[in-house]
């Protein structure tokens, strides 16, 4: 993906970007947003970006946070797994809260219907597996994190060098999703195969610390 803006220049042939962004939104006009015009002029398909952010927000809130709550409840007897699952669960809630304001800033909105929102989610619902063994639950958790990595990477690719605000938010979330994948690889490899594949995990200060998405300091006693 180039840093030039083929779409932006197609929209306004013959005009430089600086000219175009200066003249589009009139003084006092509250129906348009300079924050949207500048990224459109750089080639971001804003409608597509809003759709992706709604799908990702749906995955964070509905298919991850909600279902992870159920999955964690069923890890009885594995208190160590429950603790890691709690970090991933609460950090996904932080991701939801981090990204929702961006949808509105871009002129979008959440669906006014929870079922519709759930069904638009970009990742499959992480429902309790049958039987709800630790191996089955950890496999599901791992695959959910992998879906999140793919979805947030797509947002990073689409906004890199064009929409620094969305890119920054998506990159913060992606940082934590990559950690979550590593945590569940470690737990699943141990539980299923008796293998040690360290994740490099250091304990968060508090459950749900979310050092990247909440911009908190790392646990460092």
Contacting positions for Fe ion (CB under 5 A) = 60, 88, 92, 95, 145, 148, 177, 180
Give the nearer residue to Fe ion in terms of CB position, either 37 or 179. 179
How far apart (Å, rounded) are the C-alpha atoms in residues 101 and 108? 10
Nearest to 160 by CA among 37, 2, 29: 2
Nearest approach, Cβ of residue 39 and Fe ion (Å): 23
Give the nearer residue to Fe ion in terms of CB position, either 37 or 209. 209
Nearest approach, Cβ of residue 92 and Fe ion (Å): 4
Give the nearer residue to Fe ion in terms of CB position, either 42 or 204. 204
Nearest to 110 by CA among 26, 51, 67: 51
How far apart (Å, rounded) are the C-alpha atoms in residues 38 and 180? 34
CA dihedral of 117, 119, 124, 127, whole degrees rounded to 10: 90
Nearest approach, Cβ of residue 149 and Fe ion (Å): 8
Nearest approach, Cβ of residue 25 and Fe ion (Å): 33
Nearest approach, Cβ of residue 163 and Fe ion (Å): 20
Whether the CB-CB separation of 194 and 187 falls below 8 Å is answered with no
Task: Enter the tokens of residue 57.
Answer: 């927000």
Nearest approach, Cβ of residue 68 and Fe ion (Å): 8
Give the nearer residue to Fe ion in terms of CB position, either 37 or 145. 145
Task: Enter the tokens of residue 107.
Answer: 């002129």
Cis check: omega of the bond before 200, within 30 degrees of 0:
no
Give the nearer residue to Fe ion in terms of CB position, either 43 or 58. 58
Task: Enter the tokens of residue 144.
Answer: 């959910």
Q: At what angle do helices 46-58 and 134-159 cross, to 10 degrees?
A: 160
Give the nearer residue to Fe ion in terms of CB position, either 92 or 186. 92
Contacts of 206 (CB under 8 A, 6+ apart): none
Give the nearer residue to Fe ion in terms of CB position, either 39 or 123. 123
**Residue 2: CA count within 13 A, CB half-sphere:** 5
Nearest approach, Cβ of residue 95 and Fe ion (Å): 4
């Amino acid at each position: 993906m180039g840093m030039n803006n083929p779409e932006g220049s197609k929209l306004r042939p013959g005009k430089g970007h600086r000219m175009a962004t200066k003249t589009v939104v009139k003084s006092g006009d509250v129906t348009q947003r300079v924050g949207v015009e500048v990224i459109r002029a750089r080639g971001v398909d804003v409608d597509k970006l809003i759709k992706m952010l709604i799908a990702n927000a749906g995955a964070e809130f509905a298919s991850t946070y909600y279902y992870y709550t159920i999955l964690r409840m069923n890890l009885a007897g594995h208190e160590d797994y429950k603790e890691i699952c709690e970090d991933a669960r609460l950090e996904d809630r932080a991701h939801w809260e981090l990204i929702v304001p961006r949808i509105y800033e871009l002129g979008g909105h959440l669906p006014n219907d929870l079922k519709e929102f759930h069904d638009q989610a970009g990742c499959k619902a992480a429902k309790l597996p049958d039987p709800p063994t630790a191996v089955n639950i950890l496999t599901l958790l791992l695959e959910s994190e992998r879906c999140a990595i793919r979805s947030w990477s797509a947002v990073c690719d689409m906004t890199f060098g064009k929409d620094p605000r969305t890119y920054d938010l998506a990159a913060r979330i992606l940082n934590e999703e990559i950690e979550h994948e590593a945590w569940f690889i470690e737990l699943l490899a141990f539980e299923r195969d008796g293998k040690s594949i360290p994740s490099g995990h250091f304990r968060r200060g508090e459950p749900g610390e979310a050092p990247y998405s909440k911009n908190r300091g790392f646990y460092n006693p």
